[in-house]
């Protein structure tokens, strides 16, 4: 089974966390992370599980970790770490709308600032893949545990 097929059968939301800094990164990787709104370490975004998003994560797999997130964890993340959107969600001419997360009638910024995880990312550190005991790449259902340790 290819990676694309594996993701298409999973739940609708994926959480992505920037694990390593943006130093010594190519411009295309930096641009991809900026499109995902991941500009600082330990910043998290929740995206839909679509092939373009999975492709973006595969491109920056050596700097991020991602996996499926449950509705409970998503609610907890927004309630504890959500930053209220400071202004209007559209411009003055109602031509453009700004990307926000709507939760319980309030608008929040589309990213979350998290603490470093308790007990670390993995026993081998942040330069090794998750499958090999590190903290990078696809985590599948273990993402909930990481998010709860970072909130």
Q: What is the pLDDT of residues 55-86, one digit of tens each?
A: 999 999 999 999 999 999 999 999 999 888 88
Digit-coded pLDDT (tens) for 99-113: 888 888 888 988 999
The residues facing 66 across adjacent strands are 16, 138
Domain CATH code at residue 98:
3.30.1390.20
Residue 4 reports pLDDT greater than 80: no
DSSP, residue by residue, 92-126: TTS--B---EEETTEEE-S-EE-PPPTT-S-TT-T
Give the range of the structural domain holding residue 58, as residue numbers without chain letter: 3-150
Q: Contact, 15 vs 101, CB < 8 A?
A: no
Query: Coil, strand, or helix at residue 25?
Result: coil
Number of domains in the chain: 1
Contacts of 142 (CB under 8 A, 6+ apart): 67, 130
Integer Cα distance of 14 and 127 in angstroms: 22
* 24 contact partners, CB below 8 Å, separation of at least 6: none
pTM: predicted TM-score of the whole model, two decimal places? 0.83
């Amino acid at each position: 089974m290819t990676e694309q097929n594996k993701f298409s059968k999973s739940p609708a939301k994926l959480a992505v966390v920037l694990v390593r800094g943006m130093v010594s990164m190519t411009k295309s990787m930096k641009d991809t992370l900026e499109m995902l709104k991941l500009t600082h370490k330990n910043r998290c975004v929740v995206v839909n599980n679509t092939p373009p998003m999975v492709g973006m994560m595969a491109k920056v797999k050596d700097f991020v970790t991602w996996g499926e997130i449950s509705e409970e964890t998503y609610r907890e993340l927004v309630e504890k770490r959500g930053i209220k959107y400071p202004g209007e969600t559209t411009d003055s001419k109602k031509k453009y709308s700004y990307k926000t997360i709507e939760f319980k009638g309030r608008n929040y910024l589309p990213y979350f600032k998290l603490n470093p995880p308790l007990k670390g990312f993995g026993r081998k550190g942040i330069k090794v893949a998750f499958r090999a005991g590190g903290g990078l790449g696809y985590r599948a259902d273990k993402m909930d545990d990481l998010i709860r340790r970072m909130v």
